[in-house]
Chain A
Amino acid sequence: MSDNAVERFLVIFISIFFEALPFIALGALISGTLEELLPQGAITRLLPRRRSLAVGASALLGLMFPMCECGIVPVMRRLLRKGLPLSCAVAYMLAAPVINPVVIASTWAAFSGDRTGLDGLTSMQMVGWRVGLAFVTAVTVAHVVHWADQRYGLEALLLPIRGLAWPRGHRANENEIEASNDPLNPLMEKKSAASAAEVKNHSEETPRPAASQTRWPWYVRLANIAEIAIHDFLEITCFLILGATLAAIVQSADLLSYLPVLKDIPFLAVPAMMLLAVLLCLCSEADAFVAANLIAIPFGGKLAFLVLGPMLDLKLYLMYTRVFRPRLIWTIIGSVAITVGILALAAHYFDVLIRGSWLATMTSSSS
């Protein structure tokens, strides 16, 4: 590696790191607050009873609780711990980095202005397609995850989630008991009445109310929030560092300079742009500005880049390893990639049918 490559690596690494750091801190703070203050099962009670509706509603939660993809992992992990069904948590995790006001506004801004003679795309078009495809992808993958949950069980899909080291450590059983009363929670579907009673009996040996129902002094709650927040911040940051390192190594090759090769070949552009999104590790608030500048890339390629990037990249993969077991990670990766690929290609050809190819548009406007 030449000196320049090392310098480039360091600058890209540190920029990804510092860009994500405050959002991880925010996510960790929300995570600690949720853990300490949110009553068990509260979110689940707010969701519709039907699973498909609950998954759909979870995919839209980002409109009320906007989070970027870096900060959402610790939050999602705590929501899982608070009884949110796995399928709903995955839907929220995948959709919220796209379907939130900040990203919608940035996508709108990136594609604003008269692009006649370029790719002919409009802000409304890109925002609509991006949000729509992200929603459909998140809901589809959530149902695949639900299927995996039914087939393999939660234990095979999720890593144990750390609770408070002090002064509360014995919370997992309470979660399970409360979750067992929730028809939406997959834990209930897996647990027989006998095993639920067993858990309950075991818990009764050391009766203790749920943390959020206990009236602990405010300073105890604050200390607990602090512990969870610091722990989650450091844990996720550690994997951010590894992901940013990989991304910086890959990007030292200046991938964007090879893109004109993909012009006019949607079948090649869509998977190539999906791969690029994984390697570049761009923030969902920034990726639209990069995509808007890739004039030569067909519409489907741009769309695949914008939908897949916030759901899957190198640093996110490493962050997922702190929550999910490999079986679930690869289930999510596979289903996200296939869904986005198919949808982006379908959207591309639909767009060509509706408004003619962008090349034709460009030619006619030039003449």
Chain B
Amino acid sequence: MHLRRYLTEQLWMLGVGLIYAGTMLFDYWRASTGERTPISTVVPWIQQMILYAGVVLAGLVVVRAFWVYWTVRELSRHGHVHLPGHPHDHTHQEHHDHEGGCCCVPESELAALRANESELALAGAPAQGHHPGHHAEHEHEHDWSPWRFFVLLAPVLLVLLPLPWDEMLRAFERSKSRVQSEGFAGGVATPGDVLVAFGTWSFSADPLARSLAAALCQYRVGEEPASLEKALDYLEAHAEVPESAIRRTDVPQLEQVAYVPVQREQWKQFRRVEVEGLFQPIGRRPNQFALVRLRMACCANDSRPLSIYGVLRQPVRNLQPGDWVRVQGRLDFVQLSDGTWKAVVHTYKIEKAPLPPPAQFYVQ
């Protein structure tokens, strides 16, 4: 193996290794300041591992760089490498002194570097201990292929270029949080909707009002809600609900609750629940929506939506798909056509809310 080629490979390897270590540490640092960067596509514990990997890789590069520098310096000075304290177990073709207990790497191990005397001459070293037979044996082991280093630099460029990662991630999350659903049988915009009749009926204590509400829901037509519904909405939206009566929860919990019949009955007792997530319209019903959280096990590639449904008595306005919203309402559950159960929030209040910090955006 030629010394120049060996050094070139070592320098490339060390350079790219250092760039990788630096990129990992730099991107971790950027993400830790709250910025959304490429590293935000993995869960926090893998981000920590990237930090440790960056530190270890940087350490390895420093150790290796020092060793390459030292061996090349020794080689150019003496023509061989002295290892202090190491037993002197080889024979030199040329005699020279080893003072202070210095010893050398065996000649056979230097063969790789001495295969080409002219290369050694470039390094200022005399040729010695040359074993021509070793040259061919070593050739197969050093698969120097520069194209790999250029491939390796591609993701580094992605990290270092000023790409709008926040916007890109938001777009990705919007597309991932889309719910494949035609909605459920219900909604005030549709006459004869049993579910919404139940929703309207459920928060009135007066048996007559409940019957009327159910009847109005059943027979109302068109987009204009009936007057009793308007009244009920107004009352519920402006009701003084004590904080203690609001049960704060999240989408994953409600998704789990929906599976268990006993828990479904228990959770229906709460007067109001409050839950946050990504707003996604579903089906063709303008008053139905899905509230979505993305669960990520390792990286954005495996993220999947968890969802509950929401239903309003009016069509949803002023909200875009992917907006982060806070919803308050009464909880109910509905069985879908495939037999699964889904939590539904009969929504009294829906409003935009500030995005959670990146570390809490995904459910793990």
Contact = CB atoms under 8 A, between A and B. Distances in A.
B260 interface: yes
Contact of A167 (B46, B105, B175): B105
Interface in A134-193: 160-163, 165-170, 172-173
Contacts of A229: 60
Contacts of B56: 25, 29
Contact of B301 (A160, A161, A251): A251
A7 interface: yes
Nearest to B295: A289
Given A169-B112, A290-B302, A18 B41 contact: yes
Interface in B131-164: 131, 133-134, 137-138, 140-143, 148-149, 151-152, 154-155, 158-159, 163
Interface in A238-260: 238, 241-242, 247, 251, 254, 256-257
Contacts of A7: 168, 171-172
B290 to A, nearest CB: 15
B60 A10 contact: no
B137 A4 contact: no
B172 A234 contact: no
Interface string A274-297: 000000111101111110010110
Contact of A10 (B14, B39, B158): B158
Given A18-B46, A216-B86, A257-B180, A168 B38 contact: no
A128 interface: no
B141 A160 contact: yes
Nearest to B255: A113
Interface in A212-238: 215-217, 219-220, 222-223, 225-227, 229-231, 233-235, 237-238
Contact of B57 (A25, A217, A293): A25
Contacts of B124: none
Interface in B54-108: 56-57, 60-61, 63-64, 66-68, 71, 81, 83-87, 105-108
Interface residues of B, number: 84
Contacts of B338: 295-296
Interface string B1-36: 100001001100110110010001000000000000
A167 B9 CA distance: 15
B141 A286 contact: no
- The binding surface of chain A is classed by DSSP as helix
A18 B27 CA distance: 11
Interface stretch (A54-62, A114-122, A340-348): A114-122
B171 A4 contact: yes
Contacts of B302: 282-283, 286-287, 289-290
Contacts of B84: 217
A205 B17 CA distance: 37
Among B1, B107, B151, the most chain A Cβ lie within 10 Å of the Cβ of B151
Contacts of B68: 166
A280 B340 contact: no
Contacts, number: 223
A208 B6 contact: no
A331 interface: no
B61 A235 contact: no
B53 A25 contact: yes
Interface in A287-342: 287-290, 293, 295-296
A26 B159 CA distance: 21
A48 interface: no
Given A113-B259, A169-B109, A169-B111, A293 B301 contact: no
B319 interface: no
B340 A220 contact: no
Contacts of A106: 297
Interface residues of A, number: 84
B341 interface: yes
Contact of B64 (A110, A117, A227, A251): A227
B138 A169 contact: yes
Contact of A170 (B20, B138, B301): B138
Interface string B274-298: 0000000000000000000001011
B17 A233 contact: yes
B134 A169 contact: yes
Contact of A230 (B60, B111, B171): B60
A167 B6 CA distance: 11
Interface string B314-330: 00000000000000000
A268 interface: no
Contacts of B212: none
Given A11-B172, A290-B304, A226 B42 contact: no
Among B6, B17, B46, the most chain A Cβ lie within 10 Å of the Cβ of B46
Given A14-B155, A234-B16, A19 B109 contact: no
Contacts of A235: 148
A17 interface: yes
Contacts of A114: 259-260
Interface in A1-31: 4, 7-8, 10-19, 21-23, 25-26, 29
B300 interface: yes
B216 interface: no
Contacts of A47: none
Contacts of B108: 170, 206, 208
A166 B46 CA distance: 33
A366 interface: yes
A114 B111 CA distance: 66
Contact of A217 (B42, B86, B111): B86
Contacts of A23: 49
Nearest to A363: B339
Contacts of A226: 60-61, 63-64, 67
A72 to B, nearest CB: 16
Nearest to A220: B83
Q: What 7 pairs across the A-B complex have the smallest Cβ distances?
A: A223-B67, A15-B41, A286-B297, A22-B49, A206-B108, A25-B53, A19-B299
12 contacts: A19-B41, A21-B50, A113-B259, A166-B10, A206-B106, A223-B63, A226-B64, A241-B154, A280-B301, A281-B301, A285-B298, A289-B304
Given A16-B299, A170-B111, A241-B152, 8 more contacts: A11-B41, A166-B6, A166-B68, A206-B108, A217-B84, A230-B17, A233-B17, A235-B148
